[in-house]
């Protein structure tokens, strides 16, 4: 088509001499000469313009007359209807002399409306009004029957003389209706023919003037077009143009591009020499239909269709032909087409290589985007396998060292055996080692050679790869039978250390791998190896952090009778956080429930969590109230934060100090059935009542730990037996896609659905299944405890008078209770402990004094008084008369201690039951001698 576009340049070349006379033509003579092309076009266009202008003038005149007539009809109807609906017309028609009332009104309305007459008549057509009074009382000339039926009548009719001329051209008759809808009279209004003509006659000069202007404009345009045509043809006649056409044909057949021209029926009108050569057409092919040329079906369909084609490629006799097709006359409904053919066989080879290179670049870019998005070794290996299938290979396998999969540093000693980490492609029909199975390597295999050299190894034809076949004859034989024929093995190595290998297979009709593919696969494997190594390092750090955190969390439940407990701890997918919890048995059958969250992630957060948990256990050993325990924790976090932020210590940690922590601390007393709780920036405690009702405990919210100087408020809850306490961290109810209010609502709904009959273990699992996201971004700690009430048969209490003589009666009551509980084995030790504690309370304490025995997993003896002075254990000298009481208590009790209350203090001592140390033999121990002294009635 380029040659065709250039061919008309012959027509723009102006000859130096006239073709016939040898002299230049005169411009006017050339324009008016009917023998020239320009002269003929000029005369024909002038004739056409004159006819068009005349037709336009006539149509304008006729249209104006018609519009004027329509205007008169509208004016007549409007005037008649306006007068018929005017107030007082109906009353005037019913009056004895309607003419007296209506005649002046009709004339005034006629002049205002610009019509020639307004006639009011009765239902018989007798006029009541008329422009000429002598016509009043005569019969109306026109049709009134439709108007008597309630319709409007418009007609052209003649009538009596009128001011505007004799006769009417247009008149309208409308009914005048009464209140009941009956026709009481008629009103007619009209415009005469002469009056109507006045509406369109003024337009006639304008129309004629516009026609003349159009004629002049068209004539001027025709002159310009003719001059343009004369310049284009250079005044040439038909002979000269024929000669130019012959030159054009010569050029058409000389170009190295095929050209075909077809008509609207699909017959071949023209084919140049190059077109015949490219399509293999005979010499006398013109005039035949394209379906008779014996061309391939695709190109025949294209030639026969009327659709345009742009740079479509067809294969004809081993050539790749780029085809373009355009209509010869785009503005005609049915026209021919011109088709250009260009041989692009060699260009296709070059462009194919360029396309392959571009595809590889795109694949490298996609691999950089997809591989390494997940910090997981197996997922990264699977991404590598999937990114190359099917765009570069049919099957891809990735084998890694076990040390890499476990997050350890790889070593060369373990190259002999890899583990299949990922497969992508036709793996179901391909006899490969499955994922997770060990893949043994032999010295001569492509995989071992790739690991030793650190370079990709090509096996272009696996049928001749003996080492590959001998690795596993059965599997390799099956692979060859399925069409596997080519392999490239690429080592995965990062920082110079091999991690594994990636195997790329081709099968079936896919072409074999070539040497130029190796550099691409090495680049792809290098990028993937870095991502695998990053995932390995993250796996190692994550495993270390999880191991550390799990070692710091409770591994079992302490022995206690107050609560039935179950818990869950789920580390975050991307990194370990500082979530923690604890369950601590306290004296008096009480249990402390603790849960907290350290800000941050990683080893530093886990270590900080361990320090806080140890601190909570130590504070619990002091039996402090919950608000005081949180206060000490707050001071500890502040000191830790200052220590971490001081000097250059922060450079060795992941974050800038502790930056705060949250905690909820609760103590449950099974004897009173009460739970006292306080929280520092932590989510509220949730209570599930025995009837299944779920409520929030509304523990007062206090600032997180680490801010310093803020008091912590407590709340005491009285809980019936079988209530459930739910403690959790914010990771359970809040994440990137879920607001905390939505999470809390979901937690309450899940607890309600779980019901009151579920055990804490079942409730824990139900909450985890419903609330934990698929990929948690934060640690989750969950602790659920079902409350119990200490059984009354295991509780004994006595009030003691502040008199030393009351000690004997207390021992007697204690002895009776122990025999009732069948605990005679510890009767001696218990009486000794009670005697000493009561004696100390009488001597050094203040009323009221009270003794309480708790019989459960162990026996607890409690003596309370109103003094806040704490006793201390000391070792008395041989010459001292006193100071041995608490020493004896410590010797016979498993543990003892003091806790303070709002009314004083409680000294307690705990002894094991069932399997504990046997009772010390009477009379043979110094303790027995001391104990016998308490039997003295004088004491």
The pLDDT tens digits of the residues spanning 223-270 come to 777 677 667 666 666 667 777 777 777 777 777 788 888 888 888 888
Q: What's the pLDDT tens digit per position in 126-176?
A: 888 988 888 888 888 888 888 888 888 888 776 666 665 555 568 889 998
- Using a 10 angstrom Cβ sphere, with 0-12 exposed, 13-18 middle and 19 or more buried, the burial of residue 492 is buried
The predicted pLDDT at position 782 comes to: 93
Give 723's pLDDT tier (boundaries 50, 70, 90): very high
Identify the weakest region by mean pLDDT among 62-76, 204-218, 629-643, 911-925.
911-925
Strand partners, 439: 418
The predicted pLDDT at position 168 comes to: 54
Q: How many C-beta neighbours within 10 Å does residue 386 have? A: 15
The predicted pLDDT at position 916 comes to: 46
Strand partners, 493: 498
Asked whether residue 647 carries a pLDDT value surpassing 60, the answer given is no
Report the pLDDT averaged over residues 19-35. 49
The percentage of the chain sitting over the pLDDT mark of 70, rounded to a whole number, equals 79
Mean pLDDT of the chain: 78
In a 13 Å sphere around the CA of 752, the CA atoms on its Cβ side amount to 10
From the list 734, 831, 716, 829, the residue with the least C-alpha distance to 778 is: 734
In a 13 Å sphere around the CA of 837, the CA atoms on its Cβ side amount to 33
The predicted pLDDT at position 82 comes to: 86
Q: What's the pLDDT tens digit per position in 565-595?
A: 999 988 877 666 678 889 998 888 889 999 9
The predicted pLDDT at position 346 comes to: 63
> Angle between the 98-113 and 37-84 helix axes, to the nearest 10 degrees?
150
Asked whether residue 192 carries a pLDDT value surpassing 80, the answer given is no
The Cα–Cα gap between 340 and 618 comes to 94
Contact, 784 vs 595, CB < 8 A?
Answer: no
The Cα–Cα gap between 382 and 375 comes to 12
Asked whether residue 10 carries a pLDDT value surpassing 70, the answer given is no
Cα 546–548–554 angle (5° rounding)?
Answer: 95
Report the pLDDT averaged over residues 323-340. 77
> Angle between the 345-370 and 516-552 helix axes, to the nearest 10 degrees?
10
The predicted pLDDT at position 601 comes to: 72
Report the pLDDT averaged over residues 661-688. 93
The Cα–Cα gap between 778 and 787 comes to 29
Longest dimension (CA), the chain: 169
Helices assigned H by DSSP within 201-316: 203-233, 238-254, 273-279, 297-304
Identify the weakest region by mean pLDDT among 87-101, 247-261, 461-475, 846-860.
247-261
Q: What's the pLDDT tens digit per position in 858-880?
A: 888 988 888 877 776 655 544 44
- Using a 10 angstrom Cβ sphere, with 0-12 exposed, 13-18 middle and 19 or more buried, the burial of residue 725 is buried
Look-up: residue for tokens 């051209």?
169
Which residues neighbour 781 within 8 Å (Cβ) at sequence distance 6 or greater?
Answer: 567, 568, 569, 579, 580, 581, 595, 597, 728, 729, 731, 732
Give 201's pLDDT tier (boundaries 50, 70, 90): low
Give the residue with greater pLDDT, 644 vs 401. 401
Report the pLDDT averaged over residues 891-911. 83
Contact, 83 vs 90, CB < 8 A?
Answer: no
Asked whether residue 314 carries a pLDDT value surpassing 50, the answer given is yes
Region of 721 (left: φ > 0; alpha: ψ -120 to 50; beta: rest) is: beta
Report the pLDDT averaged over residues 516-540. 84
Which residues neighbour 904 within 8 Å (Cβ) at sequence distance 6 or greater?
Answer: 845, 846, 864, 865, 866, 867, 868
The Cα–Cα gap between 53 and 738 comes to 78
Give the residue with greater pLDDT, 603 vs 171. 171
The Cα–Cα gap between 148 and 609 comes to 105
Number of H helices, E strands in the chain: 26, 31
The Cα–Cα gap between 829 and 677 comes to 36
Report the pLDDT averaged over residues 404-428. 74
Q: How many residues does the chain have?
A: 939
The predicted pLDDT at position 646 comes to: 61
Contact, 730 vs 747, CB < 8 A?
Answer: no
Asked whether residue 563 carries a pLDDT value surpassing 70, the answer given is yes
Contact, 151 vs 143, CB < 8 A?
Answer: no
Report the pLDDT averaged over residues 621-644. 86
The predicted pLDDT at position 784 comes to: 93
The predicted pLDDT at position 13 comes to: 41
Report the pLDDT averaged over residues 496-516. 86
The predicted pLDDT at position 6 comes to: 38
Region of 266 (left: φ > 0; alpha: ψ -120 to 50; beta: rest) is: left
Asked whether residue 196 carries a pLDDT value surpassing 60, the answer given is no
Asked whether residue 83 carries a pLDDT value surpassing 90, the answer given is no
The percentage of the chain sitting over the pLDDT mark of 90, rounded to a whole number, equals 11
């Amino acid at each position: 088509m380029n040659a065709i576009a250039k061919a008309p340049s012959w027509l723009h070349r102006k000859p130096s001499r006239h073709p016939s006379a040898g002299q230049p033509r005169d411009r006017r003579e050339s324009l008016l000469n009917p023998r020239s092309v320009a002269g003929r076009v000029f005369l024909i266009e002038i004739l056409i313009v004159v006819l068009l202008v005349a037709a336009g003038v006539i149509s304008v005149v006729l249209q104006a007359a018609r519009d004027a007539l329509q205007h008169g009809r509208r004016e007549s109807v409007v005037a008649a209807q306006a007068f018929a609906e005017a107030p007082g017309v109906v009353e005037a028609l019913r009056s004895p002399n309607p003419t007296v009332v209506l005649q002046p009104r009709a004339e005034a309305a006629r002049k205002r409306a610009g019509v020639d007459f307004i006639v009011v008549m009765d239902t018989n057509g007798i006029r009541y009004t008329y422009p000429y009074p002598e016509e009043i009382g005569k019969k109306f000339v026109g049709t009134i029957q439709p108007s008597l039926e309630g319709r409007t009548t418009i007609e052209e009719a003649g009538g009596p003389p009128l001011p505007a001329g004799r006769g009417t051209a247009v008149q309208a008759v409308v009914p005048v209706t009464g209140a009941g809808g009956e026709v009481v009279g008629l009103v007619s209004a009209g415009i005469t023919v002469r009056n109507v003509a006045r509406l369109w006659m003024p337009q006639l000069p304008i129309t004629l003037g516009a026609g003349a202007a159009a004629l002049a404009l068209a004539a001027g345009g025709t002159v310009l077009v003719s001059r343009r045509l004369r310049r284009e043809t250079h005044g040439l006649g038909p002979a000269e143009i024929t000669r130019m056409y012959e030159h054009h044909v010569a050029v058409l057949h000389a170009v190295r591009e095929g050209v075909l021209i077809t008509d609207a029926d699909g017959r071949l009108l023209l084919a140049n020499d190059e077109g015949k050569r490219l399509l293999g057409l005979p010499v006398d092919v013109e005039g035949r239909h394209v379906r008779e040329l014996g061309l391939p079906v695709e190109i025949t369909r294209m030639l026969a269709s009327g659709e345009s084609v742009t740079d479509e490629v067809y294969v004809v006799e081993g050539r790749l032909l780029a085809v373009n097709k355009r209509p010869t006359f785009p503005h005609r409904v049915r026209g021919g087409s011109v088709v250009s053919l260009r041989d692009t066989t060699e260009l296709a080879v070059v462009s194919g290589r360029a396309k392959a290179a571009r595809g590889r670049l795109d694949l490298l870019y996609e691999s950089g985007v997809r591989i390494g998005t997940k910090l997981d070794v197996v997922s990264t290996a699977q991404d590598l396998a999937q990114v190359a299938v099917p765009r570069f290979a049919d099957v891809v396998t990735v084998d890694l060292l076990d040390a890499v999969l476990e997050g350890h540093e790889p070593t060369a000693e373990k190259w002999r055996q890899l583990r299949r980490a990922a497969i992508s492609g036709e793996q179901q029909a391909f006899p490969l080692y499955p994922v997770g199975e060990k893949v043994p390597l032999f010295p001569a295999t492509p995989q071992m050679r790739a690991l030793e050299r650190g370079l990709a190894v090509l096996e272009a034809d696996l049928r001749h790869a003996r080492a590959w076949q001998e690795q596993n004859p059965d599997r390799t034989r099956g692979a060859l039978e399925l069409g596997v024929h080519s392999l490239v093995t690429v080592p995965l190595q990062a920082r110079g250390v091999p991690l594994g290998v990636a195997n790329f297979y081709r099968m079936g009709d896919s072409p074999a791998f070539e040497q130029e593919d190796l550099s691409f696969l090495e680049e792809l494997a290098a990028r993937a190896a870095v991502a695998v190594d990053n995932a390995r390092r993250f796996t190692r750090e994550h495993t270390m952090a999880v191991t550390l955190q799990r070692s710091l969390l409770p591994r079992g439940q302490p022995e206690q009778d107050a609560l039935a407990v179950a818990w869950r701890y789920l580390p975050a997918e991307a990194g370990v956080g500082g979530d923690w919890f604890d369950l601590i048995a306290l004296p008096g059958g009480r249990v402390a429930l603790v849960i907290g969250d350290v800000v941050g992630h990683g080893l530093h957060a886990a270590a900080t969590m361990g320090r806080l948990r140890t601190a909570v256990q130590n504070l619990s050993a002091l039996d402090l109230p919950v608000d005081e325990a949180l206060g000490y924790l707050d001071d500890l976090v502040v000191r830790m934060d200052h220590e971490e932020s001081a000097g250059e210590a922060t450079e060795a940690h992941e974050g800038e100090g502790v930056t705060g922590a949250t905690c909820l601390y609760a103590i449950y007393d099974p004897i009173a059935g009460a739970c006292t709780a306080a929280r520092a920036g932590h989510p509220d405690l949730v209570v599930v009542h025995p009837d299944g009702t779920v409520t929030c405990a509304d523990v007062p919210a206090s600032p997180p730990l680490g801010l310093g100087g803020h008091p912590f408020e407590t709340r005491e809850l009285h809980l019936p037996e079988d209530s459930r306490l739910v403690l959790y961290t914010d990771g359970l109810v809040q994440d990137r896609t879920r607001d905390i209010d939505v999470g809390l609502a979901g937690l309450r709904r899940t607890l309600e659905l779980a019901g009151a009959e579920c055990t804490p273990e079942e409730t824990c699992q139900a909450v985890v299944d419903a609330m934990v996201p698929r990929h948690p971004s934060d640690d989750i700690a969950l602790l659920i405890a079902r409350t119990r009430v200490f059984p009354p048969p295991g509780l004994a209490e006595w009030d003691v008078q502040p008199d030393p003589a009351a000690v004997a009666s207390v021992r007697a009551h204690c002895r009776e209770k122990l025999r009732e509980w069948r605990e005679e084995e510890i009767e001696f030790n218990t009486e000794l402990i009670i005697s000493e504690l009561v004696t100390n309370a009488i001597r050094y304490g203040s009323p009221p004094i009270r003794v309480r025995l708790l019989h459960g997993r162990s026996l607890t003896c409690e003596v309370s008084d109103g003094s806040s002075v704490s006793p201390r254990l000391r070792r008395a000298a041989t010459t001292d008369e006193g100071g041995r009481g608490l020493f004896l208590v410590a010797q016979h009790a498993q543990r003892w201690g003091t806790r303070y209350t709002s009314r004083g203090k409680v000294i307690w001592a705990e002894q094991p039951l069932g399997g504990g140390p046997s009772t010390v033999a009477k009379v043979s121990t110094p303790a027995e001698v001391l104990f016998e002294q308490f039997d003295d009635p004088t004491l």
